[in-house]
Chain A
Amino acid sequence: DSGVTQTPKHLITATGQRVTLRCSPRSGDLSVYWYQQSLDQGLQFLIQYYNGEERAKGNILERFSAQQFPDLHSELNLSSLELGDSALYFCASSATGDEKLFFGSGTQLSVL
């Protein structure tokens, strides 16, 4: 158990809909990272937050947004969903000054 909690584990929705994925980092970790894993693209970095502020941005679509709340949990919002958004979405957290990332078990999103 990495200590990073992601909910829900599975999500099935339709094209055009909006969903929210939730991540609770390990206790005390200020950084949260979001990754998308699909069969054709592999693990892609989306975005990082550090103590509530956006710190780094990767291949995140404009239809996607994220935020980190004062209690340090984070949410990834995906809107106007398309079939190609079907993927595993991972959240990871790290402590300040620590090289290691700890990943959650992911949310499997299926867009039908």
Chain B
Amino acid sequence: DAKTTQPNSMESNEEEPVHLPCNHSTISGTDYIHWYRQLPSQGPEYVIHGLTSNVNNRMASLAIAEDRKSSTLILHRATLRDAAVYYCILRDDRSGGSNYKLTFGKGTLLTVNP
């Protein structure tokens, strides 16, 4: 699996937007970009994913660079409940339609200040 690079930690204030960066300079054309987060004492939780175009859902937005070598997860208004470790993961679509195993890195620990 192609490698991703994320900052170890970031800090934000409540009700402000948060931009979490991810670099994936070795991404291939068949790699999907996934974001998961893990709240304290819980299992990872799906946030969003995309291939080439920017994506929005009720949790967040995903902005993908035109060359796909980087992406940014955007939380539009951070809340205290958004404090978690955020993982940026590349999934190779060549592994087949029934294989969605993900390789997690160390992620970014997001702290939200009240």
Contact = CB atoms under 8 A, between A and B. Distances in A.
Interface size class of B (residues with CB under 8 A): 20 to 34
Interface in A80-112: 90, 92, 94, 96-106
Interface size class of A (residues with CB under 8 A): 20 to 34
A92 B103 CA distance: 13
Contacts of B105: 42
A78 B16 CA distance: 45
Interface in B69-114: 87, 91, 95, 97-106
A50 B45 CA distance: 21
Contact of B99 (A50, A90, A92): A50
A43 B97 contact: no
Contacts of A90: 43-44
B32 A106 contact: no
A100 B101 contact: no
A4 B103 CA distance: 20
Interface string A33-64: 10100000011110010100001101000000
Interface in B27-85: 32, 34, 36, 42-46, 49
